Amino acid sequence: MTLAGHATTEGTTTYRERFRDSAAEGHFRFEQNLWLSSVGVGTYLGDPDEETDNAYTEAITRAVELGVNVIDTAANYRFQRSERSVGEALRNLKAAGFGREELVVCTKGGYLPFDTHPPAGQSGVRAYVEETFVKPGVIQLSDIAAGSHCMTPRYLAHQVAQSLRNMGLGTVDVYYVHNPETQLQVVAQDEFYTRLRDAFEQLERERAEGRLRFYGVATWNGFRAQQGQRGYHSLERIWQTAREAGGDNHGFRFVQLPFNLAMPEALVAENHTHEGAQVSLLEAAKALGVTVVASASIKQGQVARGLPERIRGPLGSLATDAQTAIQFTRSTPGVTTALVGMSSRAHVEENLQLARVPPASAEDYGRLFTGSRQ
């Protein structure tokens, strides 16, 4: 069964209204004519087994029931199994009365994903790549960068179709090119932007055919690196590349990058340029009308324990350090949604207590930086 439709203004408004009496002011944010929850559910970690598949399906379903309508995954997460868990959750949610139009479903492509489990040994990997991608004409071996990454138009067309099948969808709301900085391990900046423009032109074709609504880039280091470093991405230049590919009404409207208490570069590093001024990533995104989604909000649990009172206090002295870390990310001006990997119903119910807690005020948030350089 394929779920038709995509997130809409009306649908996400309906979703927000479900929580009119329970969600705190500021939990939902209006971006790109959609209401997005300030916390989203991620699906990166976990073993490639049926138990984890089922746990993710249950966790995603429960998260939507508690006020999360942003669901994030990727083709290579757990060898395509995370996308399939998302699909199962979406079918459960439809049966429970949640419309497709209420939910913002995001996925990514760029890495060569195995299917269900990794092949055995290097010979198995090569055979898989040959049989799955090379012989059918999806890619040539020379298209692969750094042994694992590809973003040619034909490959992205294949990956969009695969993700839609995995999730049982007609349309994905946000499709990210996944860690494109991987390409910069083997090509220079000018060649990188040529390849990115080709990728964006394909994603514009996918938009025109109704298979995706928006696109973007999801990076790990690209937006956090310093100008001049090999893996650096300029948001302004990427935006200009999207305009070359799709004109003024292009679909490049989202970026995703790590942002948490230990990785605050998007806020504090003035490593981007906008109209000649040095600005932070968050400032550049705001000026360009790009929605910022934060990944790694609790850094795989590393900033979810042992937080000092000088951090806990301004963020509301919440019940757990995990909630405090998420509160920091979603309270940061310019961050729309803080993604949290949640494959446990218990973690969902703990973390989603934040749906009933307002984000930290600007005054309280500012106290985190009192006495420090902003």
pLDDT in tens, 118-136: 999 989 999 999 999 999 9
Q: Single out the residue of 189, 179, 184 nearest to residue 216, CA to CA.
A: 179
d(CA 359, CA 341): 20
Across-strand partners of 12? none
Cβ-contact 77, 114 below 8 angstroms: no
Higher pLDDT residue, 372 or 240?
Answer: 240
- Mean pLDDT for the chain overall: 96
d(CA 319, CA 23): 18
Task: State residue 115 phi and psi, 5-degree precision.
Answer: -120, 105
d(CA 32, CA 179): 23
Find the angle CA(141)-CA(147)-CA(148) to the nearest 5 degrees.
95
Find the angle CA(235)-CA(333)-CA(306) to the nearest 5 degrees.
105
Q: Is the pLDDT of residue 372 over 50?
A: no
pLDDT for residue 373:
40
Strands (E), the chain: 28-31, 34-37, 39-42, 70-72, 104-109, 172-178, 212-218, 252-258, 272-274, 277-279, 291-295, 335-341
Cβ-contact 82, 103 below 8 angstroms: no
pLDDT for residue 370:
79
CATH of domain 9-343: 3.20.20.100
Confidence of residue 300 (pLDDT cuts 50, 70, 90): confident
d(CA 212, CA 192): 23
d(CA 250, CA 44): 28
d(CA 85, CA 107): 13
Q: Single out the residue of 26, 180, 13 nearest to residue 104, CA to CA.
A: 13
Three-state secondary structure call for residue 34: strand
pLDDT for residue 179:
98
Residues near 128 by Cβ (< 8 Å), separated by ≥ 6? 114, 115, 119
Q: How many helices (H) and strands (E) does the chain have?
A: 13, 12
DSSP 336: E
d(CA 95, CA 41): 20
Three-state secondary structure call for residue 63: helix
pLDDT digit string, tens, across residues 53-68: 999 999 999 999 999 9
Q: Return the structure tokens found at 69.
A: 């309508």
Alpha helices per DSSP H over 96-246: 121-129, 153-167, 189-208, 235-246
Confidence of residue 374 (pLDDT cuts 50, 70, 90): very low
Q: Single out the residue of 234, 183, 175 nearest to residue 204, CA to CA.
A: 175
Average pLDDT over residues 6-11: 98
What does pTM read for this prediction? Answer: 0.97
Confidence of residue 282 (pLDDT cuts 50, 70, 90): very high
Q: Is the pLDDT of residue 299 over 90?
A: no
